[in-house]
Amino acid sequence: MTDFSDFGPPRRVEGGLRARSTRGAIGQSWWSRRFVEVLESFALGTRLTRGRAYARRGQVLALDVAPGEVTASVQGSRPQPYAVRIGLRAYPEPVWERVELLLAVQALYAARLLSGDLPPELDEVLIEAGAPLFPATVDELDMSCNCPDFAVPCKHIAATFYLLAEAFDADPFQLLHWRGRARERLLARLRELRGGSRAQPALVPGVAPPDAPVGAAPALTGLPDLPPAEAADRFWAPPVPVPPRPATLVTAPDLLLRQLGPPPTLIGGPGLTERLRRAYDRFAALAEADDPSR
């Protein structure tokens, strides 16, 4: 067993990645809150609490998201920062092709993704395609840290988890990127499918006919096989069941910042993005408070 008596508090860090949340829960959007809830449901103990404190102190020096892998550098009590890795299965190309077709047939889902937002129904679509967005068990995560703590996850891994949740708040497409699909590739494919390109992959049964734009597919499927009168009646019927709640298109105050990404370091870099995000959040709160209709 490792003897921790020689290790003191973590070394102070200048310029580390500090969590925006200073108290309470971490995560503002539905997807980052869900990510944190999944992690905390694994009953990982007090190391998550200590990891949250590390995240708020700015002990995480670097964080990178790649398909199937998140890597981080976390400063502990030793001079050399610890190397953290969190692996999660990235879905292969055929799975993402199924997901894109399922998303493209729903105009609202496609519109929200193209606007830089993740609709809450996205997780249901991914589950239907056999590709859940979030891990169901802790065994799906391949975690490692080169610190002397034998426990997995250690506080350095936990700190990475919480900073990762806030990274998903700032850019939700990072979560999809971790699962194997980059923002540019996904949005380009949705635009292509919604525009009716015939350069489509193998279709999901019942999702789209090969010669029709994906957006029109549910309304057109099967019409040539019906008598003219029945076809005319069916044309105006809803092609899919109406959802139990009304469709909404809600965008966050920092939507434009998420779409543009951080500016060059010369004019402020990620720090400028963060200051603008806080200002936008403040403006949105003031506008909501002044709105007499609320």
Residue-wise pLDDT for 41-77, tens only, equals 766 667 778 888 898 888 999 999 999 999 999 998 8
pLDDT at 85: 96
DSSP assignment string, 187-248: HHHHHHHHTT-S---SPPTTT--TTS-GGGHHHHTTGGGS-HHHHHHHHTS-SSPPPSS---
pLDDT at 174 exceeding the cut of 80: yes
Average pLDDT of 264-275? Answer: 74
Q: Residue 115 pLDDT more than 50?
A: yes
Between CA 212 and CA 195 the distance in angstroms is 10
CA distance 62 to 71: 8
Q: Answer yes or no: is pLDDT of 17 > 60.
A: yes
Q: What is the CA radius of gyration of the chain?
A: 23
- Residue found by looking up tokens 């809450």 in the block: 120
Query: What are the φ and ψ backbone dihedral angles of 92, each rounded to 5 degrees?
Result: -75, 170
Q: Where are the alpha helices (DSSP H) in 41-182?
A: 46-57, 93-104, 107-114, 122-128, 155-170, 173-178
- For residue 69, what pLDDT is reported? 95
| Rounded distance between C-alpha atoms, residue 67 and residue 81, angstroms | 23
Task: Name the pLDDT band for 191 (thresholds 50, 70, 90).
Answer: confident
Q: Where are the alpha helices (DSSP H) in 22-106?
A: 30-40, 46-57, 93-104
- How far, in Å, CA of 255 to CA of 278, rounded? 12
Q: Is the per-residue pLDDT at 123 higher than 70?
A: yes
For residue 48, what are the contacts with CB-CB under 8 A and spacing of at least 6? 39, 40, 153, 158, 161
H or E stretch including 87?
strand 82-88
Mean pLDDT of 275-282: 82
pLDDT score for 225: 55
Of 79-93, 174-188, 227-241, the one with minimum mean pLDDT is 227-241
Q: pLDDT band at 283, cuts 50/70/90?
A: confident
Q: What is the per-residue pLDDT for 260?
A: 66
Q: Which of 76-85, 110-119, 202-211 has maximum average pLDDT?
A: 76-85
Number of H helices and E strands in the chain, helices first, is 12, 4
pLDDT of residue 264: 74
3/176: higher pLDDT:
176
